[in-house]
Structure 1
Amino acid sequence: MTSPSVRVPRDAVEVLRRVFGYESFRDGQQEIIDHVVGGGDALVLMPTGGGKSLCYQIPALVRPGTGVVISPLIALMQDQVDALLALGVRAGFLNSTQQADERRAVESAFLAGELDLLYLAPERLRVRATIELLDQGEIALFAIDEAHCVAQWGHDFRPDYLLLSELHQHWPQVPRVALTATATPATHQEITNRLGLGNARHFVADFDRPNIQYRIVPKNDPKAQLLELLRTEHPGDAGIVYCLSRASVEKIAEFLVSNGIAALPYHAGLEARTRAEHQARFLREDGLVMVATIAFGMGIDKPDVRFVAHLDLPKSVEGYYQETGRAGRDGLRSTAWLAYGLQDVVQQRRLIDASDGDATHRRRLNSHLDAMLALCETIECRRVGLLAYFGQQGSSACGNCDACLHPQQSWEATVPAQKLLSTVLRLHRERRQKFGAGHVVDILLGRRTPKVDQHGHDSLTVFGIGTELSEAEWRGVVRQLLAQGLLAVEGEHGTLVLTDASADVLRGQRTVSMRREPKRPAKATSSSATKARRAEPVELSAEAAPLFERLRAWRGATAKEQGVPAYVIFHDATLREIATRAPSSLAELATVNGVGENKLAKYGEHILPLCSATPAD
């Protein structure tokens, strides 16, 4: 729970250097830290991998007392504490997974002033004994991690977070810092209101993650597309694959394993012990792929996740950004890949129609989905659209997304839109019938299917008027009309219906422009991305690569021996720098980013012989 620590200086820059092993702060960090160290409240919006944790960890070390961190991530608290202990920081946690004697040991350490940081699950604040415990100790600050969980209209609401508004009332002199990696202006305001942070200083960082390449591809054969992505671009890499349903998670995990890729499933239907085991393996082993529902991922601090793939359309841009942000926390090149098709839109609309809540709630869900569809269908830079959604306007094209690497063209689609809308209109008005997209496309293409024959739809005036487009192109037209609000789906079977805006198109009072469906196969995009990745300056030289592998092997054995994730020992980025510089003394090793005093003392004598050894050794 606690361990002997290095002497903590009372200066933020010295803490950064001696404890964490970094010579300088990232953009924005020092201003936040200085403000909180001075006793000010803060709301911090900063992207995943941007260094949020230092914004409360360093003030907790500099200020007198214990920093109390409110975190919803019970399953990850042990790893978070282990990572701090490895740095020589005195840390502990209290949650429902502990035995009574473990809780008493942590409580005693807190009361004795022997903890720098104490992690609590939010539900602990409902327990009177927790409040009484905190009242007896000295609190340096309250850090509210994953603060977006307080937003009821957000993507990850936690009812217990509503309790946190009472912190300031009970401890008015203790500074609070609330942190999140994702918040639209509306969610930002909701966090402010619910946590009573109107008088706090707000810090909004640049949400751009330039090391992540965003790509959205038409869904064709998603399993084959995913397999190609993993084999051509990410062989042996750790990654996360998100699926909408538990059944899909199981099927995709089995498919990957059958094709020689180490993969594990994760969803709420698995036993708690199995979920915990799979999560622990993902964190501790190299090169595992986690196939999961969105139940997995928040707070996962694994720095070397090289890709996040979505096989189903996310419900919102906030959720998409949060999930893709789990890739590349170490700053190295990573991929955010999404396969998206017409059925995704139909399925999401159906789920919204069937959801609990009133009409206002469903309208909010639909607006979130509309924004996600707009991001998928844009011909502009994905990153520009993504950042604009979070209120970051004026960004320039990134040159590192599919829209930039392979620019899409728009085309005048008014006539095809009129043909398709007319078909839907005639089915409903003339025959009082409603059908899904597949049947509508069959009519446009003039196909005499059993369903067409059964209903006599070959006699419709629109039968066969759409042969200028392929089936895939017509399905793209349907999808983009849905995205533009010119068509809608309703009912359990996803039938197509017109909207109020459809009439303007049918009357010729509104033109329709669409993104042209890409002709190139998915692997062309993958190939280009692979070339870009290999061109990155972070790739190791031929001389450094063998040392890097020796360091990884040593790190893996050490992590296994200590029962902690490999990144708790050192991040890949630190090992790469060691491999490139091959330090020959402890003084040289101490100048490597990520090598603080505690890790230098603990691991330095093990690393230097590896640096001086030859491959034959």
Structure 2
Amino acid sequence: MAPPEHRSDAQHVLQRVFGYDSFRGHQQEIVEHVIGGGDALVLMPTGGGKSLCYQVPALVRPGVGVVVSPLIALMQDQVDALNELGVRAGFLNSTQSSEQRRSTEQAFLAGELDLLYLAPERLSLDSTLELLDRGEVALFAIDEAHCVAQWGHDFRPDYLNLSVLHQRWPSVPRIALTATATPATRREIATRLELTEARHFVSDFDRPNIQYRIVPKSDPRKQLLSFLRTEHPGDAGIVYRLSRAEVERTAEFLVANGIEALPYHAGLDKEVRARHQARFLREDGLVMVATIAFGMGIDKPDVRFVAHLDLPKSVEGYYQETGRAGRDGLPSTAWMAYGLQDVVQQRKLIDLSEGDEAHRRTLSRHLDSMLALCETVECRRAQLLAYFGQEASGPCQNCDTCLSPPESWDGTIAAQKLLSTVVRLDRERNQRFGAGQVIDILRGKRTPKVEQFRHDSLSVFGVGADLSDAEWRGVVRQLLAQRLLSVEGDYGTLVLTEASAEVLRRENPRQVLLRTEPKRVASTPRTRTAGTEAPEMPAEAEPVFQKLRAWRLATAREEGKAPFIIFHDATLRQIATVRPTTLDELGGISGVGEQKLAKYGQAVLDALAAED
């Protein structure tokens, strides 16, 4: 435990620099441990306040806090945000000129920096290691530490070299931080970074302000448009697509329908990506349509929704991506459209993936967990938390399965009919087809393709007329999810699995419980601490809040920075509610530190006075 004087130093830094009266959750424990020289592995959800866990110790301990981060494109924004707080921060990466690098290196050696951000590949350079040897390092913070995990969703080979930190500077404390890691990934991070003796701090993974919803996919782009117009008009958000082509098409579709949207994927020119990212961070109400190449480290607190129009490959990826919504603690939505083709596509991608059989088995396990989350009839949040080893206190009442509980039905006979059709096509005709043709046979449709192959003469023709096309597609999807059916080949043809026989046997067949799709669920919206919990704002404060946002946007444009760097929405909401009339009163608002009070205090009071 840190000595009492360090604890008071940390508290003073928290109040003076960051404008918070108290730490939240494990923050104080982590800060004290690192200040005292201990190593730490920190798991904390996005928006939970991870950065304070190394920023405060870096400001208390002698020397410069060195932060290893893969987020080269965002380092300037991170440094700008710290400078805005009066923290002396700099970075070294490949985007700088030699003159800029020299200036930052000189500031580091002169002790004129509090925090120095480095890309991991720079630690492979002897010149960087020698630079750090010549200065005084307060601590090493390894951000986005899941990048070291071989099967993690953002694996970065450069992270494998970071064990050099412990070997070269054994007395300097290290803190590795990530928002998502299962117990197995956590062990891998500790081993690869030589943090096996580090103390582990695992925070509550729950983000209660996020409403999780998964809807049956029909026409995903139109479904997305309806979702945005009815629930999030004018809000900032991220839409994830699997392919670059779909990113482009979806962004164009939204723009054509009056939604301001930008595309982002690795195939775009580097300058275009940088411009789009800067606009997303600096403007209000933009929608970014992106592949998973976008998002890690995006510190935009007012992202009101994250939408997936394609199935994520793993629960870790899904949790990381949805966690980019609602970092300010205000109500936000994680919305996904999911259907049969998603399952077929992901299974096919696994079959075609590079790597050995063990690699494909790992990918399959990740997908199985994701499908289980999609198909559950229980609380989605509880299942999500359980994946990360956390037990929920009960149903959350803020996910679709809680708000509109789905029913399950005995689908054993339906499963037998479908599996029997696949069997008959294979054994009697030596043919294999995708879900569409199998469903047409079951429903007794005399389509040209059915007649061409004389499938209307099969004994199973028409035995499934009692279910609709959509219901049969749900059966196929869930049988795939339960591994009672599989797909193979470029055309996604249906084939049986070993487990299929358990359903088809005559005596005591395996029971197949299937999920009845729930009806559409509408969104249901919901003390000064070092986190993102937002106070409730009375209705009469809304006009004041909007005026303050307008002032903030104008100021941000004038200064060429992101609005949230000036003040978060949560801070403006509290100002609008409290209506301070003096600088002292304004200084008591959460998120108003000394530097911001001095720089913006009078302008805020003037904006409030103009309301009266």
TM-score by structure 1 length?
0.96
Q: 1:262 to 1:385 in 2, by over 3 A?
A: same
CA–CA distance in 2 between the matches of 1:445 and 1:58? 65
Deviation for aligned residue 1:549: 1.7
CA–CA distance in 2 between the matches of 1:138 and 1:532? 48
On the 8 A contact 1:313/1:344 being kept in 2, the answer is yes
> Which of 561, 584, 587 is the equivalent residue of 1:587?
584
One-letter code aligned to 1:599: K
CA–CA distance in 2 between the matches of 1:238 and 1:483? 33
Matched, 1:532 2:525: yes
Secondary structure in structure 2 of the residue aligned to 1:532: coil
CA–CA distance in 2 between the matches of 1:63 and 1:382? 42
> Which of 538, 547, 551 is the equivalent residue of 1:550?
547
On the 8 A contact 2:88/2:112 being kept in 1, the answer is yes
- Match of residue 211 from structure 2: 213
CA deviations on 1:476-526 (whole Å, 9 max, x unpaired) are: 0000000101000111110100000000100043111011123x3x3xx12
CA–CA distance in 2 between the matches of 1:159 and 1:116? 28
CA–CA distance in 1 between the matches of 2:161 and 2:535? 44
- Match of residue 575 from structure 1: 572
- Match of residue 96 from structure 1: 94
Matched, 1:560 2:557: yes
Deviation for aligned residue 1:339: 0.2
Deviation for aligned residue 1:393: 2.5
CA–CA distance in 2 between the matches of 1:198 and 1:9? 26
CA–CA distance in 2 between the matches of 1:566 and 1:152? 37
Map 1:303-382; keep pairs closer than 5 Å: 303-382=301-380
> Which of 416, 419, 422 is the equivalent residue of 2:417?
419
Map 1:275-286; keep pairs closer than 5 Å: 275-286=273-284
Deviation for aligned residue 1:605: 1.2
Deviation for aligned residue 1:233: 0.7
CA deviations on 1:186-222 (whole Å, 9 max, x unpaired) are: 1111101111111000000010000000000000111
One-letter code aligned to 1:510: R
TM-score by structure 2 length?
0.96
On the 8 A contact 2:534/2:570 being kept in 1, the answer is no
> Which of 290, 295, 298 is the equivalent residue of 2:296?
298
CA deviations on 1:358-409 (whole Å, 9 max, x unpaired) are: 1110111011001000000000000000000011135411000000000011
CA–CA distance in 2 between the matches of 1:62 and 1:540? 35
CA–CA distance in 2 between the matches of 1:323 and 1:48? 9
On the 8 A contact 2:140/2:174 being kept in 1, the answer is yes
Secondary structure in structure 1 of the residue aligned to 2:90: strand
Deviation for aligned residue 1:9: 10
On the 8 A contact 1:9/1:62 being kept in 2, the answer is no
CA–CA distance in 1 between the matches of 2:276 and 2:570? 25
On the 8 A contact 1:10/1:61 being kept in 2, the answer is no
CA–CA distance in 1 between the matches of 2:392 and 2:601? 46
> Which of 430, 439, 442 is the equivalent residue of 1:441?
439
> Which of 60, 63, 67 is the equivalent residue of 2:61?
63
On the 8 A contact 1:10/1:63 being kept in 2, the answer is no
On the 8 A contact 2:84/2:565 being kept in 1, the answer is yes
- Match of residue 80 from structure 1: 78
Secondary structure in structure 2 of the residue aligned to 1:11: helix
One-letter code aligned to 1:515: R
- Match of residue 510 from structure 1: 510
Map 1:591-610; keep pairs closer than 5 Å: 591-610=588-607
- Match of residue 231 from structure 2: 233
- Match of residue 5 from structure 1: none
C-alpha root-mean-square deviation of aligned residues, in Å?
A: 1.3
CA deviations on 1:124-179 (whole Å, 9 max, x unpaired) are: 01111100100000000000000000001111100000010111000000000000
Q: Give % identity.
A: 74
Secondary structure in structure 1 of the residue aligned to 2:429: coil
CA–CA distance in 2 between the matches of 1:537 and 1:555? 18
CA–CA distance in 2 between the matches of 1:236 and 1:584? 31
Q: Which segments of 5 or more consecutive residues in structure 1 lack a partner in the other structure?
A: 1-7
CA–CA distance in 2 between the matches of 1:374 and 1:412? 18
Map 1:160-175; keep pairs closer than 5 Å: 160-175=158-173
Secondary structure in structure 2 of the residue aligned to 1:215: strand
Matched, 1:153 2:151: yes
- Match of residue 3 from structure 2: none
CA–CA distance in 1 between the matches of 2:365 and 2:371? 10
On the 8 A contact 1:238/1:305 being kept in 2, the answer is yes
- Match of residue 611 from structure 1: 608
CA deviations on 1:435-479 (whole Å, 9 max, x unpaired) are: 000000000000111111111111111000001111100000000
On the 8 A contact 1:443/1:457 being kept in 2, the answer is yes
Map 1:65-144; keep pairs closer than 5 Å: 65-144=63-142
Secondary structure in structure 1 of the residue aligned to 2:237: strand
CA–CA distance in 2 between the matches of 1:541 and 1:203? 36
CA–CA distance in 2 between the matches of 1:546 and 1:211? 23
Secondary structure in structure 2 of the residue aligned to 1:34: helix
On the 8 A contact 2:146/2:152 being kept in 1, the answer is yes
On the 8 A contact 2:31/2:53 being kept in 1, the answer is yes
> Which of 265, 268, 277 is the equivalent residue of 1:267?
265
CA deviations on 1:314-333 (whole Å, 9 max, x unpaired) are: 00000000000000000000
CA deviations on 1:73-104 (whole Å, 9 max, x unpaired) are: 00000000000000000000000000011001
CA–CA distance in 1 between the matches of 2:534 and 2:549? 20
Q: Which segments of 5 or more consecutive residues in structure 2 lack a partner in the other structure?
A: 1-5, 527-532
Deviation for aligned residue 1:611: 1.4
- Match of residue 460 from structure 1: 458
CA–CA distance in 1 between the matches of 2:12 and 2:565? 21
On the 8 A contact 1:9/1:15 being kept in 2, the answer is no
One-letter code aligned to 1:145: D
CA deviations on 1:525-566 (whole Å, 9 max, x unpaired) are: 12xx1x435xx9956434322221221111111111221111
- Match of residue 483 from structure 1: 481
CA–CA distance in 2 between the matches of 1:18 and 1:487? 60
One-letter code aligned to 1:255: F
